[in-house]
Amino acid sequence: MGENTTNCSNDCTLCNNNGVCELLKGESTATCPSDCPLVVPPVEIPPTTPTSQSGGRAGGYVSAITINNVRVIVQMREATISWNTSVPTYGLAQWGTSIDYTLGSIDTIGISTTHKVKLENLEPGVTYYYKIIASLPGVYPISNAGIFTTHEIGDSIPPANVSRLTVAIEENDIVLTWQNPLDNDFAGVKILRSPYFFPRNAEDGKLIYDGAGIYARDTNIDPDKIYFYSVFSYDFNKNYSSGALIQISGKIPTDVGKGIRAEEKIRLDDFSFVQNDIQLPISGITVRLYPFYDTDISILKTKVAEFVQSFIIKITDPISPGNHTMYKLSLSDDKKIFAGTMGIIGEEGIYPFFIESIGYDNSELGRIDGYLDARSVKIGLGKQFGWQYIVIIVIAIILAVLHVMKNRREKNRKLY
């Protein structure tokens, strides 16, 4: 009939005056105040600048709604954003390559306290800005802004290993628990079991678990047998970590480091320990580290004998010496380094540990013992360690003393 909002506002208005605020049909407090009245007065607050995967508020007022638990899972060409709201609300996500969010928008389904949207057809290696909006009829909407960067083409960097891996026997089952890594592209873990030795990769041994949880149960085990477990975390591109290791025999965990101690030319300082892109200091047989970061450990293949196929790192809890955590260093795809990630230790202290070389027949070839000193070491802000702060303080004191001496000399000149 040719009616539109210009020539027939009575029939073609966005507001149907039915007493229900239908946001998905375009009704809002501006276009339909009768259906979408304001009931919460605004309180002005300064807006914040979006940060990478931030939880900061991007609006200019306080709402009766709050947004929390925002999580962004990034892949090469898509990203999934999930969040919770304090009350059931409608959800909307906008995104773009700037804070104008012009590339698109998508609604969540229905009213809920849990929300999730998938942004598809993104470009690899591009930084995107996003804004999520929670709204309800009669209540000021609230928004939350952030930034993420899609993975580059050919991403080959695996997530960190799981941390705090434990094992226990419950009746005829073996129960494993762990903490997942904090990598943004973390997708899940695979647990493999073998009666002979630790599975070497995510295809070796019997698959016990594959998922993103923190708990697994291996049922119907024989309490008289030894079981070796390897836990491999992986990302959405199926890049697998080097593996966290644990074994159990009967009713108590067994030891790994009871093999022969062959003559080894490898020293502890041949290994590289890195946290937060900083090379950790090694003094004799002690490595200083921060207990709340993952640690990347590697050694050049050229420093290792040809018959070594991997390394096992075993860390002992200084408070409970019967508790151990183990990780694996595997040979890289380019055959240049053995590398792996040690999970977060989580508590300050001095941790005895050893690195053991393993042959292709799973024999224990050699061992290096040492200590992980995780006491009051600072990494992060400024990326500096405690000793660097001491140097800065000493320099500041010297400069202050020189300044005082200079002022006194100037005062003496004026007196004479």
pLDDT per residue, tens digit, the chain (416 aa), is: 555 555 554 555 567 777 666 665 666 666 676 666 554 444 333 444 455 444 444 444 445 788 999 999 998 889 999 999 999 999 999 999 999 999 999 998 888 999 999 999 999 889 999 999 999 887 888 899 999 999 887 777 889 999 989 888 887 889 999 999 988 889 999 999 998 889 988 888 899 999 999 999 998 788 778 899 999 999 988 899 999 999 887 543 444 433 333 335 788 999 999 998 899 999 999 999 988 889 999 999 988 888 888 999 999 988 888 888 999 999 888 888 999 999 888 888 999 999 999 888 788 888 899 999 988 655 443 344 455 556 677 787 888 788 777 776 766 665 55
Alpha-carbon gap, residue 291 to 378, rounded angstroms: 10
Could you tell me if residue 25 is inside a domain? no
Mark whether 223 and 272 lie in a shared domain: no
Give burial (CB, 10 Å; 0-12/13-18/19+) of 169.
Answer: middle
pLDDT computed for residue 209 by the predictor: 95
Number of folded domains in the chain?
4
Same domain as 324, residue 242 = no
Whether 112 and 187 map to the same domain: the answer is no
Among the candidates 127, 149, 171, a domain finishes at 149
Whether 83 and 168 map to the same domain: the answer is no
Q: Could you tell me if residue 218 is inside a domain?
A: yes
Q: Is residue 380 part of a domain?
A: no
In terms of domains, do 139 and 76 share one?
yes
Tokens in use for 322?
């019967």
List the Cα angle 303/306/309 in 5-degree steps.
Answer: 95
Amino acid at 50: P
Residues 79 and 128 in one domain: yes
Distance CA 308, CA 335 (A): 12
**pTM higher than 0.75:** no
Residues 169 and 196 reside in one and the same domain: yes
Based on the fold, state whether residues 190 and 97 are members of the same structural domain.
Answer: no
Pairwise CA distance, residues 279 & 287, whole Å: 10
- Picking from 149, 176, 209, the residue at the C-terminal end of a domain is 149
Nearest to 150 by CA among 173, 130, 127, 132: 127
CATH number at residue 127: 2.60.40.10
Q: Rounded to a whole number, what is the largest CA-CA distance in the chain?
A: 102
For residue 1, the model assigns a pLDDT of 54
Task: Examine the domain organization and report whether 275 and 188 are in the same domain.
Answer: no
pLDDT of residue 10: 53
Say what the alpha-carbon torsion angle 102, 106, 107, 113 is, to the nearest 10 degrees.
-90
171 shares its domain with 133: no
Q: Supply the pLDDT for residue 306.
A: 82
Q: What is the pLDDT of residue 223?
A: 73
My answer on whether 44 and 118 are in the same domain is yes
Q: Do the domain assignments include residue 22?
A: no
Q: What is the pLDDT of residue 152?
A: 81
Express the helix, strand and coil content of the chain in percent, nearest 5 each: 10, 40, 50
Residue 324 lies in a domain: yes
Domain-located, residue 254: no
Strand residues in 127-267 grouped as ranges (E): 127-136, 139-149, 163-170, 173-179, 186-194, 206-211, 215-218, 226-235, 244-249
Residue range(s) defining the domain that contains residue 400:
385-415
Exposure of 272 in the CB half-sphere (CA atoms within 13 A)? 15
Last residue of a domain, one of 216, 249, 282: 249
Residue 32 within any structural domain of the chain: no
- Residue 350 inside a domain? The answer is yes
For residue 158, give the amino acid letter.
Answer: P
Q: H/E element holding 415?
A: helix 386-415
- 76, 172: one domain: no
**For position 41, what pLDDT does the model report?**
40
What pLDDT does residue 262 have? 38
